[in-house]
Structure 1
């Protein structure tokens, strides 16, 4: 069984942000993080889950995802994301990431477990530290091109 701990953060919404991930299975432990120059908290929460699942080398894994994001957890557990997909994500944000999530989600057996953020959960706290730090590395911030393109288009309308 694989445990996947995730968190996302942004300074401003939108603003610079990042994600933090811990993968743990038995004695194996790995941390992942990256930052983006302009993004949102929800995008980073979802990105953390995606990156964690994409890091798994073999399909068919039993994965428990621990997240403080009700946005991500409820969208999946209440099956909203599948309704959004059927309607082409019309009027929904983060279509690019949800499609990427669904591609990797279907490869595994995934359970979600909600944890209260900033409440002392050790792995959630560590993921928060990773996410915040990644979003502050000004010289290493990536471009969330889909988000930035959408933001530019919205400003023109």
Structure 2
């Protein structure tokens, strides 16, 4: 899962009410050496917006750590909305001037455009992005940690770095 020459990102989003106060999380593991946990919030949002923000912010953090030896960024999300959107739907949305097949405006269009731009920036660095689905609220400790960060961020209303340090120290909590 965590490998040299890779950046691995676990993301999550949450809202207390839909809409309501929300939070997002990005756990960025760089080269299985360093971990950055980021949590963020919005006072009035939806779960889908926070899921998108988790991915966007995780990719932005990873951009600062892409070096010549990084080959792949692996993004893990429990949001089928985000994963289907970025791997399937977005291509037609862009062709159709950000309209759905039903000719309606794409919901969360600004965030989708920001995600698209961020993905393009990562790709320009000759880094492959892999998208992976992980079942939420299941037996994945990293996704569960992202869920805790997202819900905590929604509850406390803060955006901050929760952890920035050594992978081995961070990983001890999962052993």
- Name 2:94's counterpart in structure 1: 85
- Name 1:111's counterpart in structure 2: 130
Counterpart secondary structure, 2:152:
helix
Q: Distance in 2 between matches of 1:61 and 1:18?
A: 30
Counterpart secondary structure, 2:75:
strand
- Name 2:7's counterpart in structure 1: 2
Give the aligned CA root-mean-square deviation in angstroms.
1.6
Question: TM-score of the superposition, structure 1-length normalised?
Answer: 0.83
Q: Distance in 2 between matches of 1:110 and 1:121?
A: 21
Structure 2: runs of 5 or more not aligned: 1-5, 100-104, 160-175
Q: Distance in 1 between matches of 2:138 and 2:129?
A: 24
Question: TM-score of the superposition, structure 2-length normalised?
Answer: 0.75
Given the alignment of the two structures, is residue 12 of structure 1 paired with residue 31 of structure 2, yes or no? Answer: no
Given the alignment of the two structures, is residue 122 of structure 1 paired with residue 153 of structure 2, yes or no? Answer: no
Over 3 Å off, 4+ runs: 58-61
Q: Say how many residue pairs are matched.
A: 139
- Name 2:167's counterpart in structure 1: none
1:27 to 6, 28, 33: 33
Which has the higher mean CA deviation after the structures are superposed, 56-65 or 5-14? 56-65
- Name 2:164's counterpart in structure 1: none
Q: CA deviation at 1:61?
A: 5.1
Q: Distance in 1 between matches of 2:46 and 2:71?
A: 29
- Name 1:69's counterpart in structure 2: 79
